[in-house]
Amino acid sequence: MKIIVFDVGGTAIKFGMVDENFEMIFSGEIPTQEFEHKGNMVMAALESRLDEFRGRYDAIGVSTAGQIDYANGRVVGGVANIPNYYGSEIRKVFEDKYEVPVAVDNDVNCAGIGEAHFGAAKGCDDFLCLTYGTGVGGCIYMNGDVYRGSRFAAGEFGHMATHKDGRMCTCGRIGCYEAYAACRVFTDAVSKRMGRPMTGREIFEPENINNPIIVEELDKWEDEIALGLRNLCYMFNPTLIVLGGGIMSEDLIIKHVNEKLYAQLEENYLHVKVVKAQLRNKAGMFGAAYLANEKLKTWSK
Query: Which of 176, 225, 253, 289 touches Zn ion (CB under 5 A)?
Result: 176
In the complex, the smallest distance separating the C-beta of residue 13 from Zn ion, rounded to whole angstroms, is: 25
Q: Minimum CB separation from Zn ion for residue 162, in Å?
A: 10
How many residues bind Zn ion (CB under 5 A)? The answer is 5
Q: Which of 171, 213, 254, 265 binds Zn ion (CB under 5 A)?
A: 171
The least CB distance from residue 192 to Zn ion, in Å, is 21
Return the number of the residue (98 or 180) whose C-beta is nearest Zn ion.
Answer: 180
Among the listed residues 14, 91, 159, 295, the single contact to Zn ion using CB under 5 A: 159
Burial of 143 (0-12, 13-18, 19+ CB in 10 A): exposed
Task: Evaluate whether 35 touches 45 at the Cβ level (below 8 Å).
Answer: yes
Q: Which of residues 8-27 bind Zn ion (CB under 5 A)?
A: none
Q: Within a 10 A sphere around the Cβ of 273, how many other Cβ atoms?
A: 16
Q: In whole angstroms, what is the distance from residue 154 CA to residue 156 CA?
A: 6
State which residue, 151 or 173, has the beta carbon closest to Zn ion. Answer: 173
Q: How far is the CB of 107 from Zn ion (least distance, A)?
A: 17
Measure the CA–CA gap between 79 and 104, rounded to whole angstroms: 15
In this chain, which stretch among 122-130, 164-172, 197-205, 223-231 interacts with Zn ion, using CB under 5 A? 164-172
* Residue from 92, 157, 145 nearest 117 by CA: 145
Among 17, 42, 169, 283, binds Zn ion (CB under 5 A): 169
The phi and psi torsions of 236 (rounded to 5 degrees) equal -115, -15
CB burial of residue 189 (10 Å; 0-12, 13-18, 19+): middle
CB of 253 to Zn ion, least distance (A): 22
Could you say whether residue 160 binds Zn ion (CB under 5 A)?
no
Contacts of 53 (CB under 8 A, 6+ apart): 4, 17
Which residues contact Zn ion (rule: CB under 5 A)? 159, 169, 171, 173, 176
